Structure 1
Amino acid sequence: MSGPEGSLYALEWNNNISVASITLISYEYMLQLEKEITFVWDRPWSAMSYIYLVVRYFGIVVAMTCACWGGLVYMPEGAPDLLRLTSGLVVSYSMFLFVQWGFSVYLCLAKVILIWRLYALCNQSKRILYISLGLFLPIVVLYIAVDIFLWSRPSAISMQEITITPNVKYCTYFFHVGPMPAVYAAIPVICYDIFLVVLAIAVLVKHLKERKELKIKPNAYIVMIVRYHVIYFVL
């Protein structure tokens, strides 16, 4: 399928996926709101509280932007052709950069929370903290390098106008770099995530053994934290 029909089909899919994504994001937010009020807003504030709120609400903004955009940006039909094309391309490229850099910032902050939780689970072990941070810093550098090399260079990505009707036009993006740089860059990140989740599971296993010997129920917070580590890794 090509031509106007293909563009219209892509637009329809874009709109359907956007509606579904916005619905899921809103539903997840409403589900977690009560817990957020109980465990964050109604408790004494700490550095972790601020980091959590930044991660949560910045992540929602990035996810909503990605969902509302979906890769296509509408260009108003009332604007002159050149202005409409220029402004549409600029807005499209700006939103694309915001989403890509935003996801990187979100993932880095989320990993900071995971490291902080592991630090608490390991009885505030300085060794665990230093090792985790020492391995995390190259990951941050890698995220920045990928965002610059793959997303921020005009030679790596470009915006293009798509005409559906004479009065309805959209912008979308096209990559000029193969997928292998992104694949290679993802390997260290995945390895680091595996390190975090394995460490969390090891702490949980040790905790369960100790509680079993003492015939005491496991600490619900430790189980919950490790569960979130695993969910983060899977997702």
Structure 2
Amino acid sequence: MSSDVQSALARLQWIDYGSLVIVIAISYDYCLTFSREVIYIWKRPWTSVTTLFLVIRYVGCLSGITEALYGSSFIPGPVKVRHCTIIYYLGMWASAIFLTAANMVMILRVYAIYNRSRIILGVLLVMYVMKVMVLFTAAGIDSDPKYVAVSIGRLPDITVCGVPLGTQTWNIVSEVMQGILSTVLCSLVVVRFVRESVQIYRATDKWQPNRYLTLIVKDGLLYYFSALLYYVINFLGILGVLPSGGWARQALLVIANIPLYTLAPRFIIDLRELYVRDTQGRWDNGMDTGFGLSSRVPVPHYAPVSTTFGTIAFAEGSGTGDLESVDETASVDSERQVLMV
């Protein structure tokens, strides 16, 4: 067996390892969170956030698993170009739909934690619409056989789907725009986290690790970081900067994919769970105020409640159930009252 064939088989083995880890992680996380999904999604009134969750959860699972399996030896049966083309298109469009929904959730959360600032929402939506237009333009070009050719690679007793060959211009533009949007979103969330952390410290004169962990969950800090990391690694892959093969490349792909596809649905579930705990188990039409969405009926003002997750204020605000619309002085006083109990 020639050294080239041995090298190709070694690369395929690492691809299989990476694919297996991603598929198992996404599937296992789905099993872990399904019971909470039933409680906080399926048994609650249908809202626009419910729709976003279902897209993120199920289209995201399809996207993550399909992209992981592409190029591996796990595809059953004799692999032909037609099969690879179908898998490639399925993963590409599922990824585009998933990322569109995931970006919208991140924008809505930033809109909510910044007291429903229309200026911030307007700027983010302009960036979002431009990104979506470029994303689907790139997906449309990649769907045209004149621009992209899907191939198969042949090894001894193994046939795998090859890397599509075609233009990368629109993909590069799409990743650059997404990188800018993700950086802005991540920066806004970090600024919010730092500001709240400083307020808590000033109110109690000591550091509160549990409260900071609560803020990380509430603001979805890890989710925003994972999204930014995903686009950075993807962009480096498009530019050809990532290692060509072996464990290093697969490790980076695992790090990029698993957090994004697992944290995105958890983000919505966690916020709804925090809302239920904060309102002492009462459900109402304000359950999605965590994403800045108005309730259909006025929601009573709930004072901050100390829970196992910390203290989170879902205040009324103009009779629409806005998230945290109390002023900063009241917020600090509430923190002092609860944390000193």
TM-score range, shorter chain: 0.7 to 0.9
Aligned pairs (5 A) from 1:84-123:
88-123=80-115
1:144 is aligned, of 136, 141, 147, to 136
Change (3 A) 1:8 1:232: closer
1:186 corresponds in structure 2 to: 175
CA drift of 1:75 comes to 4.9
Letter aligned with residue 56 of structure 1: R
Distance across 2 between alignment mates of 1:8 and 1:229: 36
The change in CA–CA distance for 1:102 and 1:210 in structure 2 (over 3 A counts) is same
Q: Give me the whole-angstrom Cα distance separating, in 1, the residues matched to 2:150 and 2:227.
A: 32
Q: Decide whether the 8 Å contact of 1:74 with 1:169 is kept in 2.
A: no
Structure 2 unmatched runs, 5+: 231-341
Over 3 Å counting, the alpha-carbon distance change for 1:162 and 1:111 in structure 2 is closer
Note the alpha carbon deviations across 1:125-181, whole angstroms, 9 max, x for none: 2222222111110000111122233x223243323344445xx56352344446565
DSSP 3-state at the match of 2:162: strand
Q: Is 2:43 aligned against 1:36? A: no
SS of aligned partner of 2:190: helix
Inter-CA distance 29–199: structure 2 relative to 1 (3 Å threshold): same
Q: 1:202-226: per-residue Cα shift (whole Å, max 9, x none)?
A: 2223333444444497587643124
Q: 1:229 aligns with which of 213, 224, 231?
A: 224
Q: Is the 8 A contact 1:142 1:185 kept in 2?
A: yes
Which digits, 9 at most, give the CA deviation of each residue in 1:84-130, with x for residues without a partner? x8xx2222112101112221221111000001111111122222222
Please report the TM-score for the alignment, with normalisation by the length of structure 2: 0.55
* Distance in 2 of aligned mates of 1:213 and 1:160: 61
Residue type at the aligned position of 1:223:
I
The one-letter code matched in structure 2 to 1:157 is V
Supply the distance in 2 between the matched residues of 1:131 and 1:184 (Cα, whole angstroms): 19
Partner of 1:82: none
1:26, CA displacement in angstroms? 2.0
How many equivalent residue pairs? 221
Are the counterparts in 1 of residues 150 and 165 from structure 2 also a CA contact under 8 Å? no
Which of 197, 201, 221 matches 1:208? 197
1:69 paired residue number: 70
C-alpha displacement of 1:197: 0.8
Which structure's residues are more often helix, by fraction? 1
Question: Which amino acid letter does the alignment assign opposite residue 135 of structure 1?
Answer: M
From the superposition, tell whether residues 210 and 17 of structure 1 become closer, same or farther in structure 2 (CA, over 3 Å).
closer
What is the Cα-based RMSD across aligned positions, in Å? Answer: 3.2
User: Which of 119, 123, 127 is 1:127 aligned to?
Assistant: 119
C-alpha distance in 1, partners of 2:86/2:50?
30
SS at match of 2:19: helix
Distance 1:47 1:220, change over 3 A: farther
Indicate the SS of the match to 2:144.
Answer: coil
Change in Cα spacing, 1:222 to 1:15, as seen in structure 2 (3 Å) is: closer
Percent of aligned pairs sharing the same letter: 19
Q: Partners in 1 of 2:62 and 2:180 — Cα distance?
A: 28
AA matched with 2:94: G
Distance (Å, rounded) in 1 between the aligned partners of 2:150 and 2:226: 35
